[in-house]
Structure 1
Amino acid sequence: MLNEFKKFAIKGNVIDLAVGVIIGTAFGKIVTSLVNDIVMPLIGILLGGVNLSGLQYTFRDAPLKYGVFLQTVLDFFIIAFSVFLFIRFFERFKRKDEQKPVPTLTNEEKLLTEIRDLLKKDVHEEREF
């Protein structure tokens, strides 16, 4: 059982997933700080000093904290938009690498390539004997 676990844990996909989770957690903390410390105070100023996280409605004896819910929804949209921008940037970068023109060979280079291939073929045939 221990050997099976080792094989599972050392697979590349598991390690990649672990790295992704760690980076995702750190990224989530950064975005949460961005929302809590920068975006929400600015929204509060625009709304006349209202702190959204403090908004709540008391239904009987139960406080319904819809302000915290609104802040969480805003966190989600900012995280989703940030991930979208990151993936978009990454895809553009990837496309630029794929679009590099493949150099075309001149007739002279084609001929030299054929000669090289023939010489390699002759060397392999001689070694077989």
Structure 2
Amino acid sequence: MGMLSEFKTFIARGSVVDLAVGVVIGAAFGKIVTALVDGIVMPIVALVTGGASVADWKYVVTPAQLDAAGQQVAAEVAFRYGLVLQTLIDFTLIAFVIFLFLKAYNRLRATEPAAAPPEDVLLLREIRDALKRPV
């Protein structure tokens, strides 16, 4: 079997296609949640904290150095913990929504009727039950 035919077989599997669809939908969903956090959640946090954007929160270790003309000679060194906090909020919201989605999905799957056992299993159960009965 050539490499091209093996690749066709690999791609034709349902699980690979499902995974690809899941990755694309997950990336789009991540953008939606990021827009929600940037557009709604963080402005509310900024109102509570006095108007400062969370992404701008930082601890400056060394301030930027400027020359006499006001040009920056050396960039500031800072820990930008606000970006980390905003990313953690994004992650938490995405994880929570995925949790809710999977919880609803599992509930729907659980309500599906169980498949009837095969005929040979039913016959074996009848034989077992007949052997258990007293004579």
TM-score, normalization by structure 1: 0.71
Aligned counterparts of 1:5 and 1:21: Cα–Cα separation in 2: 20
TM-score by length of 2: 0.68
Paired letter, 1:95:
A
Aligned equivalent of 2:123: none
* Residue in structure 1 matched with residue 33 of structure 2 by the alignment: 31
For the residues of structure 2 that align with 1:94 and 1:63, how far apart are their CA atoms? 50
Q: Which has the higher contact order (CA 8 A, sep 6+)?
A: 2
Specify which structure has the higher proportion of helix.
1
In structure 2, what is the equivalent of residue 48 of structure 1? 50
Q: Does 1:87 align with 2:102?
A: yes
- What is the root-mean-square deviation in Å for CA atoms of aligned residues? 1.7
Is 1:76 the counterpart of 2:91 in the alignment?
A: yes
Matches of 2:27 and 2:95, distance apart in 1: 14
Higher strand proportion, which one? 2
In the alignment, what sits opposite 1:64? 79
Give the C-alpha shift of residue 64 in structure 1: 1.5
Q: Which residue of 1 aligns with 2:4?
A: 2
Distance 1:33 1:19 in 2: 21
Structure 2: gaps of 5 or more residues:
63-75, 117-135
Q: How many residues align?
A: 100
Unpaired runs of 5+ in structure 1?
103-129
User: Per-residue deviation at 1:5?
Assistant: 1.0
Equivalent residues in 2 for 1:13-24, closer than 5 Å: 13-24=15-26
Q: State the alpha-carbon separation in 2 of the partners of residues 44 and 28 from structure 1.
A: 22
d(CA) in 2 for partners of 1:30 and 1:7? 34
